[in-house]
Structure 1
Amino acid sequence: YYCIIEAASSLESPEAFSERQYQVGCTLYQSLDEIDLEASLFIVVNLLNKARIISPSSPSLYKLNLRAAKKAKGLSSFDLQAFYAETGISYLPNDSWTNDKETTLELYTIRAEASSYQGDFDTMKRYCTEVLSKDHCTLVEKIPCYEVWMDSLARSGKMKEAVDLGIVVLKKLGCKLGQSRVSQSMAVVLAFTRFKREYRKLIPTLKQVEMMPLMSDPVAKCSMKILFQVSWLALYVRNQVVMQLAILRMLYLTLEFGLAETSPAGVGLGGLLIMHGLGDWKTAMHTAEVSRLMQHRLEGHFYQPCTNLVSLCVDGWTHPVQSQMRYMMEGYTLGIGAGNTDWSFYNILFFIAVPLLNGR
């Protein structure tokens, strides 16, 4: 196959052959239906990228490269994700930040994200800084870059710096956890005292979960994402005060604004607090069930492995561990498909290791 391509390409100049590849790519793009185009997306985009021809009649190459980068991310192919995102950025018109801010933001963010996955902190920082420096981008629009930056710090072993950054971002969003150790300790005492007094009434029934609205407030949705990152990062650095504050904030935001992507995992973490902080195993078990039902109500599966793993940490104390393993495989399968490789890995690790440790 490759010999035939090499022989065919040698029959004409590189410029002419690149133009021919572009023509083939245009023909495929115009003739394929949506399903076939998705299946052949990398081939079509590669052909169109060859000649770097930009004309009014040509497909929007930066949008096609963004689509290819998203597909590569879903396949956990981070080198391809970086390649297509960077190629898409190179095709952006000079006025893209004004005339197509949404696509430009997505390209820069997904390129920074790929760098984070690759462990390239400097490149991640360069692309994130470009977005964060734009005054006409709102704070909500900048949140994905803050998420990537926190994730990259965590991958670099700088967990405490990631937590500190998350606290700063949350303050900008109006969700204050406190900057000093003293203010955080005072806040968690007040929050936990209130929670202890009313938690049985706060945790919704399964019927109430079915009726809960989806979260629509953009600031609240962004706060939920950052709070979830802060909660598990604080666990790594053994900052129980910040961890508990973040979990309680997620619970109250969910009850006030409705279901967000991270609500199921946040409610599951609340179950851990109820179990180990208050000693109420029965309510904790119900909370784990509530978190799984919340997850099934949401369309996306990116946080499915997080929810399933947190639920296992609750149910593992009260149910036979083997009966919970199906949730680990479910979390792994759906999480990988959604591009959440980190938490999917933890799910498959538990799926293999826990039965072995229990003598299965």
Structure 2
Amino acid sequence: MVELDLATVFDAEPVACAVISPDLEFVAVNRAYERLAGPRERLIGRRVFDVLPGGADGRNAAHWRTALEWVLAEGQPYVMPWGRYDAQVPGRPGVYEKRYWSTVNAPLLDDDGRVSLIIHRIEDVTAFIEQLREERPYGGDVPPDLLKVEVELYVRGRELQSVNHRLRQAQREERETAAELRETVRRQRQEVADASHDLRNPLAGLQTRLEAALAEPDVDSRQVLHAALQDAERLSDIVSDLLELARLDSGAPVTTEPVDLCELACDILTGHTCALTLDTSFEPPAVVAGSRSRLLRLFGNLLANAERHARTRIEVSVACDHGDAVLQIADDGPGIPEDERQAVFRRFYRRADARRADPDGTGLGLAIARQTARAHRGTLQIADRTTGTCMVLRIPLQPAA
């Protein structure tokens, strides 16, 4: 479903609309209404009759009062007969020009069926009426009954045109939503197929080794058990990653605590054995509200990814920037082409160099890392660099107590 911001829709409606309280004061107006009656700042909170030419005692006010009070009393829409209500000329206080209007008032009912607000729609039909008069063969005014019918046909025709436009827009949005759903289903099917393939390989290896051990009593059982343990560990890694993704996908609330990303990075790197040059730059504190265990896993996934691809050097930095804690892990490896920088975050997606560097990888590490970042209201992106790859994690800083 496409999520709609109804306030934005109301404001963008091409027909002048206003929301009126039971006290007959303006509560809201859209931009089209502003063009007719003036800025909303001068309308909101004012009584309807104070805006009409002639004030509360004028003929216009009497017609409007009858219509609005009927809506309040009956809880039903009221279509006002077209009428002439002159409007002030913009920039010329006290000067009015002739205008004709078609007006509809409709109730907005609360849960108890009482009128809580009135939706007021007004449409300028002056041009149409003037055109009718110009087309009269002998001049003069148009007969009132004929004019009413023709004005109503004109207004309904414009409404039909607007409805057709909205229908076309809704159809376009429906097609886009259907395409998104088809793509989601395709990705889910692909993920299931990839997961099945990745699970099948270690299961097949485990089964083969156990069958060989049973068929050959003299086989070295320790060697068989060691190989079987490796297959079981790979199965455990895949299942663990899938479970973590399922938890992240569920959107379950994350139990948070203050976590300093500088301290977290130091804890992981202390005692970490790395054959590459490891440069660090920390600017504490960089405290976020998060799950320490999930952030540890995220950092570990990014560090492991950098170690797989780096040639000689890895850079790890933590700093604060515009209200965010920013963790960057960069390597001097071959880098990731720009057209693959989103694909690498897909589940089970593995580039050829990643398969060569780590044949036993699950292809889920970066997907988990990005989902974890999102669960912390953050982002994980690949920065533009001329060489190597730089992963950039941004998480909002925890507000000061």
TM-score (norm 2): 0.22
Which structure has the greater CA radius of gyration?
A: 2
More strand by share: 2
More helix by share: 1
TM-score (norm 1): 0.24
